[in-house]
Structure 1
Amino acid sequence: MNDLVEPNIGAAFRGRRLGHFRDASAFARYRTAYDQAMARLPEPDLIQDVATQFGTVRVHRFGAGDGVPLLLLPGRTASTPMWEANLAGLVAHRPVYAIDLLGEPGLSVQTRAFTTAADQASWLTELLDGLGLDRVHLFGVSIGGWSAFHLALNVPEKIASVSLLDPAVLFGRITWKVIVISLGSVVPFFPESWRRKLLSWISGGADASDDEPVANLISAGMRDFTAFLPPPTYPADDTVAGLDVPVLALIAGRSIIHDPRKAARRARRLLAKGVVELWPDASHAINGEFPERVNARVLTFVDEVDRTRETP
């Protein structure tokens, strides 16, 4: 695939505090892993780069049918291929847009530094305008759930619903385990075998070997990409309670991101239009562990939201 937008490569981007690949070899390794992982997905109907004030966003659209589309927001150091287990099932029911987050490993290219966490909602709002989408269902996992929540706060009139898979820094504060994993993602000479163990740990023991393309891609992003992202802010109770959009929150009972039961209790207590479920057997990699069940639950939820809106 030939890209119209050049990736950020090299130390010159460090001084500008822009996400970048360490060198040309690092990008080549990452791009090989990206293409190999993308080859496992359904064929996109459209691939485009959408300009925002913070950079260009790589967007893949799957499916061309009618209906309010789903917009998928991946987790940290992940990108579009992380939805491998879910895409085919989702696309069979409605159009799907999958993006690589700005400032993260992927094919989106950051051109302006983030100064506050609120900047994430700003570029996502611009993305919706650039895609010409008046209304979407958001579907976010981990930090993508945090981003989805803040986008819905920013432009609730454009958001039909929000589905959250074990969202990070939203209903529960991060644990020391997350800090350990974060260190492994930024230390350039962190042993690869240790990095794989961290990936397996956060995924509840899931396969993170060289034979797993998505794990390869995430590991490459952790190793070869430097990010400059403001820490995600933990929302106050009144902020969570102020979201006037239907929300489905699936909390993983074996998550190491937060205390799952406390997170579920806070979500149930605060969300004005929330449906909150604690899945005891799921880890933070819930979308890959239970893809059919996750898809069925999310699609049932968004279908009901659409039916309710259509009812006079």
Structure 2
Amino acid sequence: MTTIYRTEAGARRLEQHYRDLLAAWPVESEHRFIPTREGETFVCVSGPVDAPAVILLHGSGSNSAMWLGDVAAWSGEFRTYAVDLVGEPGLSARSRPALDSSAPALWLDDVLDGLELDHAAVVGISLGGWHALDYAIRRPDRVDRLVALCPGGLGRQTMGWLPAVILLRLLGPWGVRRSVAMVAGIDPKTSGPELEYTAANFGEFLPRKERLPLFTNEALRGLEVPVMIIVGERDAMFDSAETARRAAALPHATVRSLPGIGHAVLGQTAPILEFLRGFGTMPG
């Protein structure tokens, strides 16, 4: 079994915290475990059964609790499927498919097949945004629309923050909290529960260490689906200017660059909903 936690006791604490958050899901939901080639994958399903499908893919060090502030609005009009990525601190299997291969797309094939979905819109953030782009590139017939917030794979992944994070982690929980705030671009004095939850996760969780593969220009040119990319101009993890520049070159792209915002791109419920409805502004 892949080791993704510092201790099993810590893993159990995180799981219980996550289950408590799922119990507070703001709309009626169904919990499903989908068998895949990477192991069971947890999905929290909400919204009208006959509504268009939207797959939600969270970021590294998190799980589907990331969508607690969005899902009530989105599931009013869409059938939302919040998927716990494998190898992350959710309820899915601990396996980590190689990112520089077809394995992530094959895993998502299994998820969609298990949910009996031929196609869906996909919304992803950070690592989830990378997964969304990778899947749309490899499976264009299965992705209707794509939203990626601060995604990997477009702009250069920066590591200048790493030495400070290593030093801060030596200071215990306070240092972990400060390191998460620094990398996410969140003011720890004014932050909400997102910072506390993420810091608790990274206190016990061992994230992936490899860089996310960059998508080639040739691969990106083949993205014919409508795409919305949202970045924070002060992103410490990815070169957001390069992300925005490469995203703007996509055939059908809406690009939003948020001034003063870091890697944690929050509060985008309404513009994403508008885009999912089909009214996002696209170049002619």
TM-score class, shorter: 0.7 to 0.9
Q: Secondary structure at the match of 1:123?
A: helix
Partner Cα distance (1:95, 1:215) in 2: 28
> Which residue of the other structure, out of 160, 182, 186, is the alignment partner of 1:201?
182
Tell whether 2:85 aligns with 1:105. no
- Sort the Cα spacing of 1:181 and 1:94 in 2 relative to 1 into closer, same or farther, 3 A: farther
Deviation per CA, 1:173-209, whole angstroms, max 9, x where unpaired? 1112454587589x7x662211101221233224489
- Partner residue, 2:227: 247
Quick one: percent identity of the two aligned structures? 26
Name structure 1 gaps, 5 residues minimum: 1-12
Deviation per CA, 1:259-295, whole angstroms, max 9, x where unpaired? 32232112112x12211121213322212xxx2xx22
- Sort the Cα spacing of 1:69 and 1:182 in 2 relative to 1 into closer, same or farther, 3 A: farther
- Sort the Cα spacing of 1:296 and 1:116 in 2 relative to 1 into closer, same or farther, 3 A: closer
Deviation per CA, 1:144-185, whole angstroms, max 9, x where unpaired? 1000001111211111010011112x2211112454587589
Residue type at the aligned position of 1:272: P
- Sort the Cα spacing of 1:38 and 1:202 in 2 relative to 1 into closer, same or farther, 3 A: farther
- Partner residue, 1:274: 253
- Sort the Cα spacing of 1:21 and 1:208 in 2 relative to 1 into closer, same or farther, 3 A: farther
Task: Output aligned runs, 1:143-158, within 5 Å.
Answer: 143-158=127-142
Q: Secondary structure at the match of 1:28?
A: helix
Residue type at the aligned position of 2:5: F
- Sort the Cα spacing of 1:268 and 1:201 in 2 relative to 1 into closer, same or farther, 3 A: same
Tell whether 2:106 aligns with 1:94. no
Contact preservation (8 Å) 1:47, 1:58: yes
TM-score by length of 1: 0.80
> Which residue of the other structure, out of 255, 273, 277, is the alignment partner of 1:299?
273
- Partner residue, 1:284: 263
- Sort the Cα spacing of 1:305 and 1:159 in 2 relative to 1 into closer, same or farther, 3 A: farther
Task: Output aligned runs, 1:16-35, within 5 Å.
Answer: 18-35=2-19
Partner Cα distance (2:216, 2:165) in 1: 24
Quote the offset at 1:130 in angstroms.
0.8
- Sort the Cα spacing of 1:23 and 1:263 in 2 relative to 1 into closer, same or farther, 3 A: closer
TM-score by length of 2: 0.87
Report the RMSD for the aligned CA atoms in angstroms.
2.8
- Partner residue, 1:256: 236
> Which residue of the other structure, out of 196, 204, 222, is the alignment partner of 1:224?
204
Partner Cα distance (2:242, 2:186) in 1: 23
- Sort the Cα spacing of 1:180 and 1:236 in 2 relative to 1 into closer, same or farther, 3 A: farther
Partner Cα distance (1:208, 1:73) in 2: 28
Tell whether 2:245 aligns with 1:265. yes
Partner Cα distance (2:166, 2:110) in 1: 31
Identify the structure with the greater helix proportion: 1
Deviation per CA, 1:31-72, whole angstroms, max 9, x where unpaired? 232133334431442101101111111100011243212111
- Sort the Cα spacing of 1:176 and 1:20 in 2 relative to 1 into closer, same or farther, 3 A: closer
Contact preservation (8 Å) 1:43, 1:62: yes
Q: Secondary structure at the match of 2:147?
A: strand
Deviation per CA, 1:218-265, whole angstroms, max 9, x where unpaired? 233323234567542111211212222211111212221223223211
- Sort the Cα spacing of 1:28 and 1:99 in 2 relative to 1 into closer, same or farther, 3 A: same
